[in-house]
A and B are shown apart, each in its own frame.
Chain A
Amino acid sequence: MVKVTFVAHDGRRFPVEIEPGMTAREAALFNEVPGIDGDCGGQCACATCHVHVDPAWIDRVGRLADDSMEADLLQFAEGTTTESRLACQIKLDDRLDGLVLRVPEQQY
């Protein structure tokens, strides 16, 4: 299992575990972590699973790729940073065990 901790906007921490191969979006939704909507079903089509990757983890997760659908969508989200990603595009494996993701105040 891969451990992921979601940190809500108000500072509450939600540690969850999920099978490798699943995405961070699924880790949040399956465990009812508040603040991740994931309206489109995980198809990189709505930008309602926006997260800020903890700076300590961003290199391992990878930054947003220019000219990707993910970047096209995230440009319209509120409060994006250089650590912004869509949780549906973060595939979890053993390398990411212990990952910390911050949930923005609200999703668009």
Chain B
Amino acid sequence: MATRSMQSGPDREEPDRPIAEIPLAEIDVSRPSLFQSDKVGAFFERLRREDPVHYCSESAFGPYWSITRYNDIMAVDTNHKLFSSEAKLGGIAIQDMHNDATNLELEMFIAMDQPKHDAQRKAVTPAVAPSNLLLLEPVIRERAGAILDSLPVGEEIDWVKSVSVELTTMTLATLFDFPWDERAKLTRWSDVTTAIPGSGIVESNEQRRQELIECAMYFKGLWDQRIDRSEGSDLITMMANSPATREMPFLEFLGNLLLLIVGGNDTTRNSISGGVIALNQNPDQYEKLRQHPSLIGSMVPEIIRWQTPLTHMRRTALADSEIGGKRIAKGDKVVMWYLSGNRDETVIERPEEFIIDRKNPRQHLSFGYGIHRCMGNRLAELQLRIIWEEIHKRFRLVEMVGEPERLLSNLVRGITRLPVKLRAH
């Protein structure tokens, strides 16, 4: 197993040559710089066509299989008995968990197999149950409206900082019933959890570790206040009082918290930003939206497909098997590239185009499928729907006035800066 990790900083420069001339065996789609420059799509396009189940024998993350077609991804994602999410085998991302002495050995149910996964997931799902979301909707709408009302019209602002981060942080604070004035901590912890040292968020693994321990201690304080509290539908009260989660060891407690924070933060944040980019790059669709605001309902899943806020999930093969005619050996690292599957022309019509009134917009891979399917998918959609409804009431156009800046990461498809000007009706 490779020991050089994603956290050792930016990867090597690829010599500038046409993608078609790179020998297949040399293609390595895991390089974070390919995502930061947003050039990875052309590599996936070639793999889908020429070698859809592709083996990369050498990378900064060790050898791995790339699954690039929609149906193959679906087959792996729904076969949890053969393809494990277990942290001790490497977990759920191409970057192994537990491979670095300075990392915390976090445990979270997304990186567990049955039966422990099921018990812990069941304990927290009521927080995002459809019935609970109905209660959250007016709160989120009011807060979204307040954010938008505070923005200057006609001046350049950073949409990421002013809207995407603000709204997702507020929602998360609501879900956790987190002390309101300190809610910026949630954003910070989310960023730190997935950060590469040297990427501008943390300087070292030691700093990362320190901050995450602070996070755990803070939540421990909230937990202690809420344990044995009989009412409260927030996530902490639920975890503190459910038999499946109340006795969790410390690192499992921290891991599951971070899972819920990252799960509810980065992903929605980047979809809120991604929607603005998609509409600006497709002005005909923006016009269609202005004429038919009722299309917001189908635009929301299209934004989530288009953005694909998590580029991949990874599994580890528990036995020898076959995918798309290739022999996968027990122990192999199998990476399901959702970003590629969501552009698979054999399943999704005109996949490169952003179309707000697609026929089956919810048929995409961004939430994953099977028992690990995104637990907060309805909450994510709710937030996106509300923000676009509230934007429509206030502004004719959110105009992109400069190129977006993207995150150096092969997992989180992040937008770090998005200069826009708001145009009134």
Please determine whether B131 and A40 come into contact, CB atoms closer than 8 angstroms: no
Within 8 A of B (CB), among A18-76: 37, 39-41, 43-48, 69, 72-73, 75-76
| Nearest opposing residue in chain A for B361, CB measure | A39
Please determine whether B74 and A73 come into contact, CB atoms closer than 8 angstroms: no
- Report whether over half of chain A's contact residues are helix, strand or loop; otherwise say mixed: loop
Within 8 A of B (CB), among A72-108: 72-73, 75-76, 78, 105-108
Judged by a CB distance under 8 angstroms, whether B130 is at the interface is yes
Query: Do A76 and B363 contact each other (CB < 8 Å), given the known contacts A43-B78, A45-B370?
Result: no
Residues of B within 8 A of A47 (CB): 373
Query: Do A73 and B363 contact each other (CB < 8 Å), given the known contacts A43-B78, A107-B130?
Result: no
Query: Do A75 and B118 contact each other (CB < 8 Å), given the known contacts A45-B373, A46-B369?
Result: yes
Query: Do A43 and B129 contact each other (CB < 8 Å), given the known contacts A72-B118, A72-B371, A73-B370?
Result: no
A: interface residue count bin: 20 to 34
Query: Number of residues in B with C-beta < 8 Å to the partner?
Result: 24
Judged by a CB distance under 8 angstroms, whether B362 is at the interface is yes
Judged by a CB distance under 8 angstroms, whether B392 is at the interface is no
Judged by a CB distance under 8 angstroms, whether B125 is at the interface is yes
Residues of A within 8 A of B121 (CB): 76
Question: Which residue of the partner chain, among B78, B80, B125, B367, contacts A76 with CB atoms under 8 Å?
Answer: B125
Please determine whether A43 and B118 come into contact, CB atoms closer than 8 angstroms: no
CB distance from B361 to the nearest CB of A (A): 10
CB distance from B401 to the nearest CB of A (A): 36
Question: Which residue of the partner chain, among B114, B122, B129, B369, contacts A40 with CB atoms under 8 Å?
Answer: B369
Complex Cα distance, B375 from A75, in Å, reads 12
* B residues whose Cβ falls under 8 Å from a Cβ of A: 74, 77-78, 80, 114, 118, 121-122, 125-126, 129-131, 360, 362-363, 367, 369-371, 373, 375, 377-378
Known: A108-B129, A108-B377. 20 other contacts (CB 8 A): A39-B363, A39-B367, A40-B363, A40-B369, A41-B360, A43-B74, A45-B74, A46-B369, A72-B118, A75-B122, A76-B125, A78-B125, A78-B126, A78-B129, A78-B130, A78-B131, A105-B130, A106-B130, A108-B125, A108-B378
